[in-house]
Chain A
């Protein structure tokens, strides 16, 4: 299996030269069957155990990069890994399995905790002090690449990263045609959770009917509208654009013709008092207490919702909403969690860091992650298992995928968008002309980076 990757590698390029910011993506052609060959294993380790055992016996070891690396590594390989707090136990097991897969090498791998959603903040403060292998959410990839904090995935050794994972996940891990990270989960987007005892399947098709049903039941529908990440779903859904430019600034048409109708629609929805603006933590409490019967949120809230609603727990794609008499399907950001390798890793160990990143994201590890924590795999083979398919949250996410876009947005987007959301939620108390308001927001979003 390793040889195939190698062969592909050699055909694609002789020597991969990767400079930060302008790397070339290699190893995109390797045979796809390589991943399918591996039977879905219960334990994460076996496949690689076999590979490692095979390695020393291989006469052609000289041509095998991993065998070469094993042979060239004489001292202890010291690496640090960052995974989120919730992922510590699983990652510890996976690291142990990784060590066992390479019995000839002594490892000293330290595991630290750093939430995927805030990894960027810690890493960018001092890239050199950051972990060698770390997990992060895909919205941070642009800033991490700009800061040179990601080693391009110029070749893969134990499985083919580009082919084994869902297209969207690979796209999310790619910047300017270069693959920068290893997809780990494909469940970081948002969709609609609801209590089936309050809403019928027809109700959840449009936001308006949901609000009617919720009002009748004396419940609320929650969404974090004063948050750029979520308010995007309205504007994108109504056909207005937000894209990232090469220099890190944004292009945005949220003030285009008719966009005021979208703003008006959001305001009207909030004015009903049934659609409430809540952040994630507040939502969790509100669900548990039973005041909220439906919410726009992601898989990380699945557990809370399931506990509160029991059998009536259900999830689906986002509903439509009415803009000046026309129903628009709400869009969303698709979200992935990725694993990256820090280029400021000791040059002797960087290969091991990449192998470890591969290991943490291979099919078995992704399957194990789903089993342990219900996180949706990015790996297509792992995602096709029956257990994954049966998970309502992940199914809803898959449904929403048709309307989701990968998150490509510059840092100047967040504060202006958040403020826009807050003003609309508050019903525009100052009475600013909607067009002027959107113009100011867009000016902030598109402000030049200097």
Chain B
């Protein structure tokens, strides 16, 4: 009897937490089906239901809503960003973890400290650096901005590589394998969880960043934007009352691919987040 009560309370408590966590998400979803375009402040559930918001997203692009184009832009930027970032992170981590050379520790500390600088502040300088090479208002520029500095985020992956047994590498070396071969053939296949972790994290950056993107893509032409700028723009003073529910619909759609990614990769991601430390 006591056991059943414990069982029920435990699960009721969890269910309560889930409700707390999902209420805003639920509001997002139901508002996205609202027939009223502004913010509904009197009722949790919309008074009239409709699919108009989704229709507006996909079928009726106007000067404010270019959802399909934004989605494609963001997807392209995200794919290239995550490829370059992952390669950079792996390269730096391997160097720092497995290779021994002069100045390694200095470089490591330097990298960590450099990562501390508030990016919000150096943004304007980044903008002018990109402008002087003519890459503002271009998606190539966005890819560079998002991925160029990614090497600094090597710490967790390095921690993981530290745990890969050194004897593996030594054995390979005795067989005459070059460092490059060891990196490509031994370390990379073993780092699968880390690769997934880095891929997901870097893939998500362009979907969530609006400050930097807004600065770099400043032509005012909606078809250049990424999803984040586009959705953020809908909540501007003059638009919010006509576009709030469309914003919600946009938010729902963005979450779908990301949720799928998360659910599929959950296992690897957990291993990745905890890095090499797990094995300690």
Contact = CB atoms under 8 A, between A and B. Distances in A.
Q: Do chains A and B touch in the complex (CB under 8 A)?
A: yes
B280 interface: no
A131 B220 contact: yes
A289 B218 contact: no
B220 A114 contact: yes
A285 B220 contact: no
B273 interface: no
A82 B215 CA distance: 16
Given A85-B63, A110-B221, A122-B218, A129 B239 contact: no
Contacts of B245: none
Nearest to A112: B220
Interface stretch (B36-44, B154-162, B178-186, B190-198): B36-44
Interface residues of B, number: 26
Nearest to A280: B237
Nearest to B124: A125
B136 interface: yes
Given A80-B219, A113-B64, A129 B238 contact: no
Contacts of A113: 63-64, 220-222
A281 B244 CA distance: 11
Contacts of A114: 220
B241 interface: yes
Interface in A109-125: 110-115, 117-118, 122, 125
Contacts of B38: 284-285, 288
B80 interface: no
Contacts of A322: none
B131 A284 contact: no
A122 B220 contact: yes
B221 A112 contact: yes
Contact of B241 (A85, A131, A285): A285
A117 B237 contact: yes
B268 interface: no
B193 to A, nearest CB: 41
A117 B236 CA distance: 10
B175 to A, nearest CB: 56
B205 interface: no
Contacts of A85: 63-64, 233, 236, 238-239
Contacts of A300: 238
Interface in A299-328: 300, 304
Nearest to B220: A112
Interface of B: 38-39, 41-42, 62-64, 124, 127-128, 131, 136-137, 215, 218-222, 233, 236-241
15 contacts: A80-B219, A82-B220, A84-B238, A86-B238, A112-B221, A114-B220, A115-B236, A117-B237, A122-B218, A125-B218, A126-B127, A126-B128, A129-B219, A289-B42, A300-B238
9 nearest A-B residue pairs (beta carbon): A112-B220, A88-B63, A284-B241, A114-B220, A112-B221, A85-B64, A281-B240, A82-B220, A285-B41
